[in-house]
Structure formats: C-alpha cells, structure tokens
Chain A
Amino acid sequence: MDRLVLLVSTGVARGLVIALFALSLVIIWRAARIVNFAQAAMAVVAVYVAFALQAATGSFVVALLGALVTGALLGAAVERGLMRRVSGRTPMPGMIVAIGLVMVLQSVLGILFGPKHRPMTPVLAETPLSVGGVPVLSRYDLFVLVVALVVVVGLGVLFNRSTLGLQLRASAVAPEVSRLLGVRVPRMVTIGWMLSSAVAALAVLLLVPTELGLNAHSADVLFVHAFTVAVLGGLDSPAGALLGGVVVGVLVSLVTGYASAGLAPLAVLALLTVVLLVRPGGIFAPKEARTA
C-alpha cells in the first residue's frame, strides 16, 4: 500500500512533466499544424546551455532562465528559418523537416559532447517526504509538481484571459479571417513556436536530474511519451494533454514499479493502440473531427 502511494505520487509528478512536454506539442500543432518531432532535440540543446550556465554561475535560477530563453530563441529560429519555407498544405513536409532537424541536432550534440551522460544534481533532495509515516514524494518531485502546475495555470491564463492568447487561438483555427481582422498571424505563429519550445525546454530541464543525466538522447523517451499523450488527448486539446500526461506518467510508474522497466514501452504502446482504435482523433476530439 505504501509502495502504491509512492508510485502513484511519483507517477503524477513525472506525468506532469510529460504533460508539460505534451502541451508544448499541442501549442505548436495548434499554431502551425506541425508535429514537431524535433521538440526533444531542441529542448536538449537549451538544457545544455542551462547546464553550462549553472556550471558557470552556480545558480539554478540563472540556468532555468537560460533554458527558457534559449528554448524560445531556438523555436523562433526554427520557425522563421525552416518551417516557414515548407508547404503547409499537408502536415507531411513539416514532419519530415522536423525529423531531419532531430538528426542534425542530436548528431551535432553527439559530436560536440560525446556519448557520456553528464549528471545534473537536483536543486532539492530526492529523499522522499513522509506523510503520517508513509513515504509520498521527494522534495524534488514536489518542486517539479509545483513548477509544472504553475506553468500549466500560467498557460491557461495566457491563452484564455489575455488578448495575446485570443489572437493565438484565433490565428490557429482561422488564420485567414484573423488576418482580415488585423491580427498579425505570421507573428502569432512565431510566438507559438517560442512559447512551445520554452515550455519543452523547461520540461526537459525538470526531468534530466531525475534520470541518468544530460546526453543528446536524454529526452527521447520523454518525447515518445509526450507524443503518445498528445495523440491520446488529441493534438488540439490542452486539457487532454494534461490528463493524458498524468495517466501515462502513473501507468509508466506503476508498470515499472510492479513489473519491470522493460514492460513500460509495451504498456504505453498498448494504451495508445487501444485509444487510437476506439477514438482515432484522441479522447477529447469529437469523433471523426480531425480529417486533415
């Protein structure tokens, strides 16, 4: 029972990181109708910068800001430099360019930094906190939980309560009408990419200390989980990304804890297959909605 509590609460904390990353995929999909397969690789680049900043200044806050800024700049560069140049008629060219970008970024990181994992120490201890004698969550996981929730709420406010969010939402679903109403749609697409890449960088920065360490492929599994989540919830649904992230996080935590880590990818694949066959557009999409 104690083990279950620990596994579930750790799963929720991991799940929120997955959800953050999935949210970042949803933001780009909504802004530009592109599934950014390069999201993880871009985020890892930003975390390498954060790693260097932390080593140089010793400050986690500086590192965090560095990751956010680098992520945003990378997002803008990729959108302006690459994605704007491919046809938006179908999602295919954008996906292919993103795949090419993953290959370039990961191999260049591999050439520059070699294959070894660089350990990153968490800002807070990883020993579990106990509630009434039951170990519940480590301090670091609690920190991750709080940061993730703050970002999710912040994004919610930004998108639903601000004029920038209004323009972002309108540009995403009705670009032509939005332009006729004076909304600078190309700028909104760039802002969407910047937001998305910054959120992804944050998610990876939160994740790396709990894993082996920093390496070009540190975020690969996170990407697969987050993409699974985005597909589960429907690429258009922020709420779906949030809920799906927690579900996948808890599932992976339970399967790893009670069976073996090797079974986790199978469990995720099974979940994905079942959901896609029952609701092809994701749990939160109206049936048959996403045909393009």
Chain B
Amino acid sequence: MNRLTTGTRAGHVRAVVLRAVLLTALALAATFALDPFRNYQLAVIAATFCATAGLTLLVGLTGQLSLGHAVLMAAGGYGYALVAAPAADAGLPPAAGLALGVVGALVASGAVGGLLGLAGARLRGPYLAGLTLALVIALPAVATQVPGLGKDQGLAVPFVPVPGPLAGVMVVEQWHAWVAIVVTAVAVTPLVVLRSGRAGLRMRAVHGDEVAARLAGVSPARVKVGAFVAGSLSAGLGGAVLAVVTQNVGPGRYSLAFSLLLVVAVVVGGLGSVGGAAAGAALVVLLPWLVDTVASGLPADLEQRLSGNLAVAVFGALLIAVTVAWPGGLAAATSGPRARLAGRLRRPRPADPPSDPPSDSRPEPRPITER
C-alpha cells in the first residue's frame, strides 16, 4: 500500500467496517420481526448476495462475464459438506463443525475460482463466458462421476442446532438467518474494501484499457485472477450458507438457470454496485416465490405451466430492458444524482458528438504550440 495514502486509507477501511457492523446488527435485529419462513428466505437472500457481490465486481469492474458462478457456490457447498460431515461424525460440537466447514468451503471455492481465474486471465469476453457455461453444464456430470459427491442426490449436511444460550429466544430458522447474516458480512465487507481501494482502481484500469494498465505497472493477469479468487471465496461462503440452511448440497440447485439468475441480479442491481447486488439477490429470490404464490390460485394446468416459467420470463425481460434502456440498473436509479454522475464518469464517453458511431471517437489532439 502506498505510504502516502495509508492514513486516509485506514480511515476509509474503518468506515466501511463500521458500516458493515451497523448493517449486520440491524439485520440481526430485524430477524426478530420475521416469521420462520421469512427468516429462511432472508438466509437464502444473504447466501445469494455473497455470490452476486463478487460477480458484480467481476463483471462490472473487470469486464469478465462468468456464467458459471453457481459452480463456485456449489464448490463452497461441497467443501463445507465434505469437512462438516466428518467433523460431526467425529463428535465435534456444532460450532466447531460450522467453523471447519466454512474453512472447507473457502478452500474448495478458492481452488476452483483460482483455476477459473487463471483461465479468465488468458481468455477474452465471449471465450470466458463459453468456458464457464460448459463448466456449469458439466456440474451434474461431475457430481455423478466423481466418487464421494453423492451423485444426483448430493450430500447431506449436518444440522446446525440453535446453541444452548439462544435456544429459548429463537427457533432454528432465525438462528440460521443469523449464521447467514454474519457469514455474509464476513464475505462481502472485504469486497467493499477491495472495490473502493486501489484494487478496485486496478480492476477498472484493466477493464478500461489493458495495454494502458500494463504501461502503468498494473498486471492485468494478476488483477483478473485476484478479482476471480475474491469473488469465488465470497460465492463459496454463500454456498456454505445455503448448505447449512437447506442441510443439503447437490447439483440440482446449481443449474445453468441459477447461474443466469445471478447474472440477472447483478445486471438489474447495477453492474459494479455492491448495494445493487444485494437488491438483485433479494429480487431473484423473492420474485419467483411471489409469482408462484400468485399462480397457486389458478387452475392446475395453467399453474404448472406458469410455475417457474413466468418468473424467468420477467427476469429475461428485465435483463433486456435494463441493458438496452437503463444500463446503470437499480443502483443508478435509486442513489441520486451524485451516484448517477459517478456512473457516467465511470463509463467511457465518446469524444465526438453522440450521433457518430462509437469506433470514431478519435479526437484530434489540441495543438501544443500554435502561433
């Protein structure tokens, strides 16, 4: 870290952490107002947010489109299950099992993310999207073919009961929501620090112009791998949370459709915005449930057809509408003129008037000497 900026930098990190602690406390308190099912949904949203927070940085800042982010969550889930289950069998207390499982999730997702990141550093936009797409399609085959992953059914995850002192205060759903909120805070706060610090600047530099970034002493490969690993660790923690909450990890949940929902969440939330990623996560969890709830009053045949499909249609339309008409997403629309201005500054702007094609923005340099 540059010594000149250390002072303000440390202050900035403190501010981010303070805000994270406050938000976490607020969320923990809010769980008391929710019924068990709402708390379950909150936990799922938190887990999804872990993944979208990393993905929004990856897509929005470094310009790498990953269609396989669900695989990273799956890696975290399997990592958790593979460590937590033996720990429970060995008679360790649930808290220790939880902690060890989280470490397992970090190791597994970090390893997969590192490999993908290495590939991503060498591959450009569509090629990386293709590799991650093939990966997410191959996940069921991996789960079936690799011994120890429990085939189609996946693995059972040890139950994490409410700890003794809290047992009188809350039911298990609320406890799981607490676990989810705390793990999410731990996963996302470092990403916010990264995003607003020098690492975020490097990511934008690499996205803007790789050659220029390289000339400025920034290694595009290192930045891209770093962004991928950071996003993967966070997504892995999200997978661990989902494993705890659903007590299962299997290939069915982490399908291509789920991966695409994560993309929807970050695009609709606003690429590069962590707050937008949170809103997007809530949207992709709640809207399908809402649609199913509404559709449940309809005739059986119609309900069967609408179930699942209608929400996907709405998400697809949102994805198109936001990209075509409203590129800043929710983040730009809700956070006032200051953020909108920042968003505009972040996006490269053609130097020529808007009516000419983008490739033509080649301003003539102003003359340096002119008599």
Contacts and interface: CB of A to CB of B under 8 A. Distances in A.
Interface of A: 29, 35, 37, 82, 85-93, 95-97, 99-108, 110-112, 114-115, 175-176, 220-221, 224, 227-228, 230-231, 235, 262-266, 268-269, 272-273, 276-277, 280-282, 290-292
Contacts of B180: none
Given A92-B65, A99-B263, A273-B119, A268 B138 contact: yes
A276 B305 CA distance: 40
B123 A280 contact: yes
B318 interface: yes
- Leading 9 A-B pairs by shortest Cβ distance: A103-B316, A100-B319, A104-B316, A100-B320, A107-B313, A107-B312, A107-B309, A35-B126, A110-B309
Nearest to A290: B124
Contact of A99 (B126, B210, B319, B357): B319
A264 B142 CA distance: 11
Contact of B260 (A99, A112, A224): A99
Interface string B88-128: 00000000000000000000000000000001001111110
Interface on chain B toward A: helix, strand, loop, or mixed SS?
A: helix
Contacts of A269: 134-135, 137-138
Contacts of B218: none
Contacts, number: 157
A96 B138 contact: no
Contact of A95 (B125, B134, B304): B125
A292 B63 CA distance: 11
Contact of A272 (B122, B134, B256, B304): B134
Interface of B: 59, 63, 65, 67, 119, 122-127, 129-131, 133-135, 137-138, 140-142, 144-145, 210, 256, 260, 263-264, 267, 304-306, 308-313, 315-320, 323-324, 327, 348, 357-360
Nearest to B357: A176
Contacts of A262: 141, 144-145
Given A85-B324, A103-B316, A277 B129 contact: no
From B124, B210, B264, B315, residue with most partner A Cβ within 10 Å: B124
B309 A276 contact: no
29 contacts: A86-B323, A87-B327, A90-B63, A90-B125, A92-B59, A92-B125, A99-B260, A99-B263, A100-B316, A103-B312, A104-B312, A106-B312, A110-B305, A111-B310, A112-B305, A114-B305, A175-B357, A176-B360, A231-B126, A231-B130, A265-B137, A265-B138, A266-B138, A266-B141, A266-B142, A269-B138, A273-B131, A276-B127, A290-B127
B263 A227 contact: no
A101 B312 CA distance: 10
Contact of B358 (A88, A268, A277): A88
Contacts of A86: 323-324
A87 B350 CA distance: 12
A274 to B, nearest CB: 11
Contacts of B348: 89
A235 B306 contact: no
B132 to A, nearest CB: 11
Given A107-B312, A108-B313, A176 B320 contact: no
A60 to B, nearest CB: 29
A277 B122 contact: yes
A27 to B, nearest CB: 14
Nearest to A29: B126
B305 A111 contact: yes
A87 B358 contact: yes
Given A90-B63, A107-B312, A111-B310, 5 more contacts: A92-B65, A103-B264, A104-B316, A107-B311, A282-B127
From B63, B141, B358, residue with most partner A Cβ within 10 Å: B141
Given A96-B319, A108-B313, A111-B305, A176 B324 contact: no
Given A262-B145, A272-B134, A276-B131, A95 B313 contact: no
B119 A276 contact: yes
Nearest to A85: B324
A101 B313 CA distance: 9
B319 A224 contact: no
Contacts of B309: 107-108, 110-111
Nearest to A291: B124
Contacts of A35: 126, 129-130
Nearest to B151: A262
A95 B358 contact: no
A227 B67 CA distance: 13
B205 to A, nearest CB: 15
From B129, B256, B310, residue with most partner A Cβ within 10 Å: B129
B122 A280 contact: yes
B327 A224 contact: no
B52 to A, nearest CB: 15
A111 B306 contact: yes
Nearest to A232: B130
A97 B319 contact: yes
Contact of B263 (A96, A114, A264, A272): A96
Contacts of B142: 266
Given A110-B305, A110-B309, A103 B319 contact: yes
